[in-house]
Structure 1
Amino acid sequence: MMVIDDFHPDPHAVRARYLAHADAFERPDGARYPGRQFEGIPELRDGTVSRLEALLDRRLAIRNHAVRVATAADYARDDFSYTVHLDFTPYTAIVYLGLVDEARPDAEHPEYGTCFYEHVETGERRIWTRRDPDYEEQLRARGLGAAEYEAYKERISRDFFRPERWRVYERIPYKFNRMVLQDASRLYHSGPDRSFGVDLATGRMTENFFLRFDLRGLFEL
């Protein structure tokens, strides 16, 4: 994992441009996330990717980019009260752009950040998919064939909505203009209090990037 603070040179300007498109935020039918989503602004997306490429010294391929805002009420819904999950892409980057406390924009807020979970029964902290560069290696390490591993994954995923089946082993506090870059196979969810605010301007805003590239050997994710 890589945590990059002060990611955007002018995060307030980036945030203001997204909020200027308030009418474009929507909740698609069948969405599996809380709150509303906007597909973003190509100019800002490209700027974010360019900065990340410069930091990593790697060319990146984007599978998806979106801006999401969720309020405290969005996360209070029963179907989102506890959903440990993974992202179906090799890597995920999230930039925190919500202001928990406008008077203290640089403050850290562990209760609203990102938690990483371990499955109590199996000890698993990740689930690999066929998209992952290490998929075959992980199957060999467990002595499982593809069909057996898929059944093993299904056994773990049945517990995604059962909080007693998980324990937090790492927590990244929410901080305005912080980017968290992670291996998307890690099992995670937002912090214990999930979200804050009552509308787009005051809620938990994040830029979300699904990325395709191979970071093995660059740093430990």
Structure 2
Amino acid sequence: MYPTVGLRKDDVTTTSDRAATQTAPEMSSVQDQSWVPPTWEEIVTEHSARVYRLAYRLTGNMHDAEDLTHDVFIRVFRSLGSYQPGTFEGWLHRITTNAFLDKMRRKQRIRFDALSDDAAARLPTREVGPEQSYSDSHFDDDVQRALDALSPDFRAAVVLCDIEGLSYEEIATVLDIKLGTVRSRIHRGRSQLRTALAHRAPDPSRTGTPSRSRRGFAIGRVATGTR
């Protein structure tokens, strides 16, 4: 089971009320298109596991993942008034990645281009069952350490590609960067992972490989140089 988001609707009532007042024209425009904003309970129930999974992969530990998930849902509630109907999951990918890079920028004083929260609404939905979601969010310690050692921009690209399963084109949309930059970041990130996980390369004297989750297997392929 994933930890709860730890955020009640009351925690963001003042903020959301203020945001609703400030973005009334936008909300009216959306409502004119017959789009009904989801309730707080619906958002948390339907999307908390997905957001936490991505947050855990980006941050590398439960505490930071919970904090990031908390921040993401505050941003989601603040931004509902300006959300344009589209793929909600893609919008969450953008907000989560943006929140992660913002945190890293504050911690490490690294300059990153600001990410807007609208373009990713075009991304397709990917439904993952609860058991698969839980398995996908927990890697072996050495794999997680290797991911944590990547720079934030490389990590985000690799996580979105090899764990979340987005295409290069979709990652370019989420990160608002050129396709060539996506390819470069993924190539360099995978190269660093391959070096860090060289001990996982297949041993010709042994047969069989340990079972991995679908996305864990993708990282394993990176480690063994088969991807």
Q: If the length of structure 1 is used for normalisation, what is the TM-score? A: 0.26
Q: Report which of the two structures shows the higher radius of gyration computed on alpha carbons.
A: 2
Q: Which has the higher contact order (CA 8 A, sep 6+)?
A: 1
More helix by percentage = 2
Q: If the length of structure 2 is used for normalisation, what is the TM-score? A: 0.25
